Structure 1
């Protein structure tokens, strides 16, 4: 017979602890299923509580719970872009994309439903949360380019790259997560370097940012490897000069 001392004491969760528990259960479900495929009963079962208890904390029902879970996921996603301003730009981007793509990998179905839209749970508020993440990502890229007041071309280029990263992530999920994550990450780093280079050809602000970034790159780094791969491809185009 189990002695009283061996039985763990029951502890009632605080309001914040219970809310965190419910959000965690909801996030786990929304990560792998579209919002319309998740019910409050599913959340209650995953959290080991009753449906009325879920309603007590989220009286607005599943929509309120979904928006709260999305806000929590967005906060986590924004943290993926936080990176110290030290070392070569391509190394910083590599670490950022490692975190971002790991998030995508772990929240596959939910990530697809969120970015592709069309969900029954999609509202102006959920769209605003997603846009906030995009703006935060763009701002971080500009911080690492050391550009405080970007002009229209540089700003458009950065937003274009953010959109390309999102699209590539969705395609990657649709293609059964192929190529391997590391290859996708390296390609996306190369993509930004290429976009910066092309934009620099017609925009002095971008050109100055590129010169500053390349000054910290090495021949062994991503920019050096990309240069050695591109030069043989374009070497036969000397007649265009």
Structure 2
């Protein structure tokens, strides 16, 4: 009987159950379209009992977003081993796994959903972005990033977020292609910045020197070279002349 189950659950256990149920429902439909009655039914409890653990839908919504934000931030963690391009591609794979699995919930988290404009939701969004930013800097091995590198990383995190939101609207581009394109976008942003700043050029040269020709960054070089008539001299990323970046 469900009554026995209710009595055996502690307060925190029940709260976590409700958060999980709400997050699952929010993963398939916009939080605006999910009622407390539906959450209660899915959890196997009464509507008044939901309010016993959460004052209202807003507080339950924010608790669900808190869990989603923590999980999303964790997707950017990656062992600092191997070429950067391959690492970023794995990160993008896990990032889009989350986007794919929690579409409406991801949109709600990034766009604010029912809590749009609330300080709590805005703080969660900022935490996710900051976590991603710090993880990327850690992979670059830069403790005190110059201003242009900060701009590159923050711009790329924002680009990944907006790209995922647009992709969810129609999923018109194959996901794997989009993940690779975002890794290429990071390289492109870095190259442009390096053209304006010697310190950025040094960081970029160090990164590219460790990249294999068959890696994501190497593939980008190949694609770009193929666009230039009569060009075919650059075959590997690691062999790019340093003076071209200065």
| TM superposition score normalised by structure 1 | 0.88
Alignment of 1:187-226 (within 5 A): 187-226=181-220
Task: Write the distance in 2 (CA, Å) between the matches of 1:16 and 1:79.
Answer: 23
1:142 aligns with 2:120: no
Match of 1:77 in 2: 72
- Choose from 100, 105, 110 the match for 2:105: 110
- The 3-state SS of whatever aligns with 2:114 is coil
Deviations 1:65-96 (A, max 9, x none): 11111010000001100111110001111111
Q: How many residues align?
A: 227
Question: RMSD over aligned Cα, in angstroms?
Answer: 1.9
Gaps of 5+ in 2: 232-243
Deviations 1:182-216 (A, max 9, x none): 11101111110111111111122322221221122
Match of 1:62 in 2: 57
Task: Write the distance in 1 (CA, Å) between the matches of 2:101 and 2:63.
Answer: 19
Match of 1:3 in 2: none
**Structure 1 residue 30: deviation in Å?**
1.5
1:232 aligns with 2:242: no
| TM superposition score normalised by structure 2 | 0.87
Task: Write the distance in 2 (CA, Å) between the matches of 1:236 and 1:197.
Answer: 22
1:160 aligns with 2:121: no
Segments of 4+ moved more than 6 angstroms = none
Task: Write the distance in 2 (CA, Å) between the matches of 1:50 and 1:207.
Answer: 61
Gaps of 5+ in 1: 1-6
